[in-house]
Structure formats: structure tokens, C-alpha cells
């Protein structure tokens, strides 16, 4: 056996494991921790319908971090781990929600040291006189170190043409992204067409993002899953008739494909409206039961 039993002066028994065995145990523990971390990633994104590619990106970031640490132990060169991401997707496809979640998860995985989330838009970045924009942008990036800086509707920075200070902001961001790529995640988000145009404003912009993440529009099945999830989360349930009503309505809306359909936000609004309507209905009901409180009926669903 690869183990030694030694009795100490005080009578205590000490078991000494030989190196090989210790190393094996160490490897097993590390392996177990890695599995736990991967499960943790899956769990954190489990509530999001679709979006498997986001999960995959997280696993990739985690894998690279681990391999870098191991290469470092063997004195090998570490890979540069750039986190910066570009999110492209229509309204209500989950860009902001996922960005917030990334801050938490990357912090838990020890990839970001603080995990705070700063959301900014054009007005927070673009100044009113020469030099102010660069300063504002740098300050914001400094504040976001160790966490996530989420710039929504990023294309609005390039909106004002050549004389606009938005360009100054973009140039500053490009420079800063290069200098701060570890322990800092910059996410630029916006609608697909506009973000494509935006990428043309500065030739260095596209290649500085390690991940270009597309958030697709949800189909009927996904929107119905999101509906049920939102209902369950809030401790309600839909009667069959209510569910059918919503399904038929969404099917119709998707068929006509409105220009700015707001995806998951659209169904969230339907649910929130139904909850308010149910409350009003129950107000005039004598002796409200727990079942009444829970059920959203067809009468509660108001659709436009
Ligand atoms: N995959 C999903 N699963 C469950 N809920 C989702 C999903 N995607 C979005 N939602 C919900 O839809 C709502 C809108 O999402 P969010 O605000 O993140 O969208 P967005 O892409 O940032 O939209 P916008 O471009 O209009 O800012 C949120 O309440 C979010 O919880
Ligand atoms: Mg958003």
C-alpha cells in the first residue's frame, strides 16, 4: 500500500500518503471542482430559454482560464484572454438580462474580481466640448474595472457624423479595450443592422471583440415556454383556455412580423397586464380562495 502510518509522541496517528497518491487525490479534487463549476454555469443559464451559445461561450472562457493557469505552472506562455463582447439582437431578446447575469457568473468563477455591472448609454459617455468625451469614457472604463461595462444602443455613438464627439468616444473605447482586457468585460449592445453599420466606423472595432453574440428572435414555442416560466416564477398558473388564447395571439403576431416586435418583453407585458386584471376581477369576488389567487383565466388576458 502506498501509505505510511506513523504514531506521534502524543499518541495521535498520522497517515502519510506518498507523493503519487497525493498527486492523484489532488487531481481528483481539482477535476471535481471543474465539474462543479461547469454545472454552476449550466445552472445559472438554465432559466434562459434558448441561448445555448451563451452557455457555450461561458464554458469556453472558463476552459481557457484554467488552461492558462496550468500552462503558467509549467512555465509556458499564457494566452491573452480577451472577454469583450458584442451583443446583437432585436428588442426583448435578452441582451441586457444576459449581460447582468454574466457579471455575476464571471465573478463567481473568479474571472472578474468585483463583478459589478455598469450600464451606460450615449449621454453618459459623450461630452459637450473637445476632450470631455475622452475623459468621461476613460473614467467610466476605470470605474468598470473588475466588472462589466454594458453600453446599450452603442451605434448611437456614431450617430452624429464627423463633427460629433461620439467618434471621440469610439476611438477612446478602442484604445482602452486593448489596454484593459483582463478583469474587465466591455459589452456593446444593439440591434443587428445598426450594429453592423457601427462596426464600419472604426476599422479596429470588430477584431477587438472576442465574442460576437447574436440573440435571435424567439419562435412561438420559445415564447410559450417563456410565458409559462414567467407565470410559474410569479407563483401563478394559466388555465388551459388562457394559455390557448395567448398562443393563438402570439402565433398571429408572429405571422405579421411587426417591425419592432419586442419578443420576450412582449409576453412579459401580457403576463403583467393579466396579473393586474386578475387582481381587479378578484376585488369584486366574495371569499377569494388560494386557487382563485393563483389562476389566470381567459377573462384576465387582454390582447391588442
Ligand atoms: N431567453 C429568455 N428566457 C426567459 N426570459 C427572457 C429571455 N430573454 C429575455 N427574457 C425576458 O424578457 C425581458 C426583456 O429582456 P431584455 O431586457 O434583456 O432584452 P433586451 O434584448 O435587452 O431588449 P432591448 O434591446 O429592448 O433593450 C426580460 O424581462 C427578460 O427576463
Ligand atoms: Mg436591453
pLDDT 10s per residue in the chain (304 long)? Answer: 466 666 666 666 555 656 666 677 667 767 777 778 888 888 888 888 888 889 899 999 999 998 998 999 999 988 888 999 999 999 999 999 999 999 999 999 999 999 999 999 988 988 877 788 889 999 999 999 999 999 999 888 887 766 677 888 888 898 898 888 889 999 999 999 989 888 888 888 888 899 999 999 999 999 999 999 999 999 999 999 999 999 999 999 999 988 889 999 999 999 999 999 999 999 988 899 999 999 999 999 988 7
245 and 204 in a common domain: no
Same domain, 121 and 224: no
Per-residue burial over 191-224, b if 16 or more Cβ lie within 10 Å, else e, is beebbeebbeeeeebeebbbbebebbbbeeebbb
Probe residue for ligand 1, chosen from 52, 86, 91, 94 as the CB with the greatest number of ligand atoms within 8 Å: 94
- 26 and 164 housed in the same domain: no
Query: Do 193 and 243 belong to one domain?
Result: no
Q: Print the domain residue range for 20.
A: 1-46
Distance 184 CA to ligand 1 centre (A): 23
Final residue before a domain boundary, out of 215, 230, 254: 215
Asked if 66 and 204 sit in the same domain, the reply is yes
CATH of the domain at 163: 3.40.50.300
Ligand nearest to the CA of 218: 1
Same domain assignment for residues 74 and 147: yes
In the chain, the number of structural domains is 3
Judge if 205 and 295 occupy the same domain. no
Residues 61 and 174 occupy one common structural domain = yes
User: What span, in angstroms and rounded, lies between the C-alpha atoms of 281 and 298?
Assistant: 12
Boundary-marking domain end, from 30, 46, 62: 46
Query: Does one domain contain both 139 and 248?
Result: no
92 lines ligand 1 (CB under 6 A): yes
108 in the same domain as 238: no
Burial of 175 (0-12, 13-18, 19+ CB in 10 A): middle
Determine the atom of ligand 1 nearest the C-alpha atom of 191.
Answer: 25
Q: 62 with 162, same domain? A: yes
Residue that terminates a domain, selected from 215, 247, 276: 215
**Four-residue CA torsion sign, 160, 161, 167, 170:** positive
Identify whether residues 240 and 274 lie together within a single domain: yes
Cβ atoms < 10 Å from Cβ of 293: 12
The CATH number given to whatever domain includes residue 230 is 1.10.8.60
Q: How far is the CA of 54 from the centre of ligand 1 (A)?
A: 14
User: Going by CA atoms, what residue is nearest to atom 29 of ligand 1?
Assistant: 265
* Pocket of ligand 1 contains residue 264 by CB under 6 Å: yes
229 Cα nearest atom in ligand 1? 4
Whole-model pTM: value is: 0.85
Amino acid at each position: 500500500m502506498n501509505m505510511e502510518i506513523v504514531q506521534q509522541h502524543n499518541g495521535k496517528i498520522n497517515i502519510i500518503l506518498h507523493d503519487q497518491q497525493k498527486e492523484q487525490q489532488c487531481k481528483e479534487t481539482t477535476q471535481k471542482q471543474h465539474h462543479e463549476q461547469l454545472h454552476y454555469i449550466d445552472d445559472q443559464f438554465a432559466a434562459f430559454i434558448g441561448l445555448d451559445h451563451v452557455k457555450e461561450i461561458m464554458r469556453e472562457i472558463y476552459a481557457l482560464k484554467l488552461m492558462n493557469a496550468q500552462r503558467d505552472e509549467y512555465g509556458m506562455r499564457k494566452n491573452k484572454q480577451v472577454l469583450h463582447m458584442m451583443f446583437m439582437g432585436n428588442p426583448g431578446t435578452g441582451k441586457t438580462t444576459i449581460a447582468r447575469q454574466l457579471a455575476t457568473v464571471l465573478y463567481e468563477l473568479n474571472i472578474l474580481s468585483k463583478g459589478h455591472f455598469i450600464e451606460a448609454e450615449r449621454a453618459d459617455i459623450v461630452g459637450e466640448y473637445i476632450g470631455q468625451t475622452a475623459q468621461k469614457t476613460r473614467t467610466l472604463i476605470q470605474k468598470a474595472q473588475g466588472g462589466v461595462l454594458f453600453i446599450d444602443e452603442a451605434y448611437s455613438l456614431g450617430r452624429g457624423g464627423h463633427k460629433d464627439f461620439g467618434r471621440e468616444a469610439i476611438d477612446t473605447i478602442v484604445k482602452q479595450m486593448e489596454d484593459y482586457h483582463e478583469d474587465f468585460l466591455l459589452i456593446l449592445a444593439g440591434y443587428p443592422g445598426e450594429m453592423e453599420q457601427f462596426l464600419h466606423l472604426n476599422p479596429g472595432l470588430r477584431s477587438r471583440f472576442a465574442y460576437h453574440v447574436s440573440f435571435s428572435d424567439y419562435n412561438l414555442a420559445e415564447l410559450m415556454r417563456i410565458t409559462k416560466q414567467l407565470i410559474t416564477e410569479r407563483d401563478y398558473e394559466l388555465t388551459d383556455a388562457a394559455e390557448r388564447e395567448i398562443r393563438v395571439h402570439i402565433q398571429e403576431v408572429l405571422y405579421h412580423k411587426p417591425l419592432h416586435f419586442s419578443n420576450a418583453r412582449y409576453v412579459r407585458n401580457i403576463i403583467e397586464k393579466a396579473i393586474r386584471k386578475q387582481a381587479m376581477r378578484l376585488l369584486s369576488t366574495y371569499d377569494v380562495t388560494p386557487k382563485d389567487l393563483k389562476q389566470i383565466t381567459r377573462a384576465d388576458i387582454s390582447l391588442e
